[in-house]
Amino acid sequence: MNHLLVVLVVFSPLVGFLINGILGKKLPEKLSGALGTLAVLISFVSSILLWNHVSIHGGFETVLFNWLAIDTLVLDFGFRVDALSIWMMLIISGIGTLIHLYSIGYMHGDKGFSRFFAYLNLFVFSMFLLVMGNNLVVLFFGWEGVGLCSYLLIGFWYHNVAYGHAARKAFIMNRIGDLGLLLGIFLIFKVFGTLHLATIAELASANLVQPQIINWITFLLFIGAMGKSAQIPLFTWLPDAMAGPTPVSALIHAATMVTAGIYLVVRNANLYQIATLTTQIILIIGLATSILAALIGLYQNDIKKVLAYSTVSQLGLMFVALGVGAYSTAMFHLTTHAFFKALLFLGAGSVIHAMGGEQNISFMGGLKNKIKTTHITFLIGTLAIIGFPLFSGFFSKDEILEKVFEYSPIAWGFTLFSAALTAIYMLRLYFVVFLGNFRGSETQKANLHESPISMTLPLMILALLSLFGGVLNLPHFLPENMSQFLSHWIASIPSMQFMAPSSHEHHLSQTIIFGLMGLAIVLVLVLLFLVYRFYASRQFNILPNQSRFSKLGENKFFVDEIYNHLFVKQIESRSEFLYKVFEKKAVKPFIMLFPRIFGQLGKVFQRVQDGNVENYLLYFVLGIISFILLILL
């Protein structure tokens, strides 16, 4: 039964992909969209049934078939369903279903409608492989699969050359990270002699391996996570990935795929527990990414770009939590972020839909009364992400702040700064888009309309989740049976018992904890007031900002230009040298020597073939005679 459910979860999106991919053009739009959504819905229902099983009997593994066996390397195509993977499965299939539903409305009338659903289903399938694989190779298979789907979907409107370039950029930057992950997997196999995740976790807790090697392994895995989860230095692909259709940005580049890096670290938490050096690196990179991306987000005028930088920044916060060893906290923020960021992206999609494709927020404004459902849900998403009290983001962000404070007050200061920046750029976005006067063209104003129900329904469901998502992991000072649900849940995996809140001693006194929480609340409220006053004084317009720093922010701190200069130009000049000197002067003349020799030989021997049968006969007889002579002599 469980085996069947696992197969159903994983393969129903694959079947959806095959049907839409092969028959797509012949299917009517409605059927195509319904099939794609149904495939993910089946996964979601099966995941809920599996959740039920896991909560009673604990996790289990199931093997589909033996994949390959080379000497000591025995690989099964097996799946692991435990507290951690079922959590991810529910997020993927749940939010995935909503976004598929939304896409039916959003992609209506697009020429590649069925292709879009085929890709989305393939993505969901790969994502399931990633989070459910019981060994690192199945995980890697899924990891590459989601990378491919990300590439295909960013470049979905491939007629636009710039979109194609964005897709390639995402793919190539991910490859750099993948190389790190692959090397990490190799090193794990060399050190532990197995790729089975549960066995690795067991061996890692036995403390048999030198910490230095563990540091290397975890660092290499983290490089993979950097690529997929868009951390410094591999973060520049994610904002460009906004070239894809908005549901893609919501599903792949906000809620699920980019969190694969977090999942990878949490899944190997037993390794990261020992790797003190790597976790420090993770903390620093997470903080730096979070602040840098937030600063860039402050100066962007494209609604999707702001959200993209916000995603990078929030992912940075999750890595901060991982860096201080708060794995379940990172999972908590991952979950709430999946809710509110998917909501914000879908809301942005609805705004773009209403504006007839316009993405620049300086042409929006005053949309509050025009698209009411979108406005209210977007407002809920904004309040959730800035950590307004009792919204889901408040609980997760506060837990991160508390864990970081426990680790180091200085890091806490930076994290708080990043959280404050989040509040500023998100409020700016909200105020400029929804308040004030409409600044677009007259035709846009006449055509403003609320999106169809298939688009607003997912918005409402996600808004509810963003509102109440906090109950998944309420603060630990509340009574035990209602707080810290997620932490207890993940700690139910035997190898991850150390994440249980009870085993974790609280160094902080109650006063400090409440003080920190109060500080965060006051900060958010003050910022809300200040940002409102700032934009109200300008009638909620964006005025061109002439300061030097804002120019830096608008140009994304020139990170792309620096990379271009450091890497791309260097490789290009070397390639050109090799082409002009090595290829043209050495390789080509040498290779061309052979055709020339045989050409000349051919010219000599073609005279023999003159078409005269008697001559052929003569050669034939001469040949026989020479053979006979050869034998006789």
Partner 1 sequence: MDLIGYENYFWLSTALFSIGILGILIRRNMIILLMCIEIMLNAANLMFIAFAYKWGNMDGHIFVFFSMLVAAAEAAVGLALMVLIYRKFKTVDISYLDKLKF
CB of 599 to partner 1, least distance (A): 24
Indicate the residue among 600 and 606 with the shorter CB distance to partner 1. Answer: 606
Structure token digits, residue 380: 């809920």
Indicate the residue among 562 and 618 with the shorter CB distance to partner 1. Answer: 618
Select from 127, 5, 14 the least CA-distant residue to 62. 5
Place of tokens 């019981």: 134
The reply on whether position 619 binds partner 1 by CB under 8 A is: no
Residues 129-188 that bind partner 1 (CB under 8 A): none
Measured in degrees and rounded to the nearest 5, phi and psi for residue 591 equal -65, -40
Indicate the residue among 522 and 618 with the shorter CB distance to partner 1. Answer: 618
- Angle among Cα 420, 359, 453 to the nearest 5 degrees reads 95
Among 471, 519, 597, 618, binds partner 1 (CB under 8 A): 618
**Which residues pair with residue 135 across a beta bridge?**
196
Q: Report yes or no: 400 and 327 within 8 Å, Cβ to Cβ.
A: no
Indicate the residue among 71 and 614 with the shorter CB distance to partner 1. Answer: 614
Indicate the residue among 57 and 607 with the shorter CB distance to partner 1. Answer: 607
Q: Report yes or no: 429 and 535 within 8 Å, Cβ to Cβ.
A: no
CB of 631 to partner 1, least distance (A): 14
Structure token digits, residue 352: 């773009």
Q: Report yes or no: 13 and 40 within 8 Å, Cβ to Cβ.
A: yes
CB of 629 to partner 1, least distance (A): 14
CB of 616 to partner 1, least distance (A): 11
Quickly list H helices, 1-82. Answer: 2-23, 29-57
CB of 601 to partner 1, least distance (A): 25
Residue 484 gets which letter from DSSP? -
Host H or E run for residue 546? none
Indicate the residue among 530 and 618 with the shorter CB distance to partner 1. Answer: 618
Indicate the residue among 581 and 621 with the shorter CB distance to partner 1. Answer: 621
CB of 613 to partner 1, least distance (A): 9
CB of 608 to partner 1, least distance (A): 16
Among 617, 623, 626, 627, binds partner 1 (CB under 8 A): 617
In angstroms, the CA 121 to CA 13 distance is 5
Among 497, 522, 621, 623, binds partner 1 (CB under 8 A): 621
CB of 630 to partner 1, least distance (A): 17
Measured in degrees and rounded to the nearest 5, phi and psi for residue 68 equal -155, 155
CB of 25 to partner 1, least distance (A): 51
Q: Report yes or no: 197 and 79 within 8 Å, Cβ to Cβ.
A: no
Q: Are strands 60-70 and 73-81 parallel, antiparallel or unpaired?
A: antiparallel
Residues 587-616 that bind partner 1 (CB under 8 A): 611, 614
Indicate the residue among 72 and 612 with the shorter CB distance to partner 1. Answer: 612
CB of 24 to partner 1, least distance (A): 54
The one-letter amino acid at 335: T
Question: DSSP letter string over 133-161?
Answer: BSBHHHHHHHHHHHHHHHHHHHTSSTTSH
In angstroms, the CA 627 to CA 519 distance is 104
Indicate the residue among 28 and 623 with the shorter CB distance to partner 1. Answer: 623
Q: Report yes or no: 250 and 303 within 8 Å, Cβ to Cβ.
A: no
Indicate the residue among 172 and 617 with the shorter CB distance to partner 1. Answer: 617
- Angle among Cα 514, 327, 510 to the nearest 5 degrees reads 15
Measured in degrees and rounded to the nearest 5, phi and psi for residue 196 equal -75, 120
Indicate the residue among 479 and 611 with the shorter CB distance to partner 1. Answer: 611
Instruction: Report the SS3 class of residue 323.
Output: helix
CB of 621 to partner 1, least distance (A): 6
Structure token digits, residue 448: 């403003």
How many amino acids of this chain bind partner 1 (CB under 8 A)? 5
| Residues found near partner 1 in the complex (CB under 8 A) | 611, 614, 617-618, 621
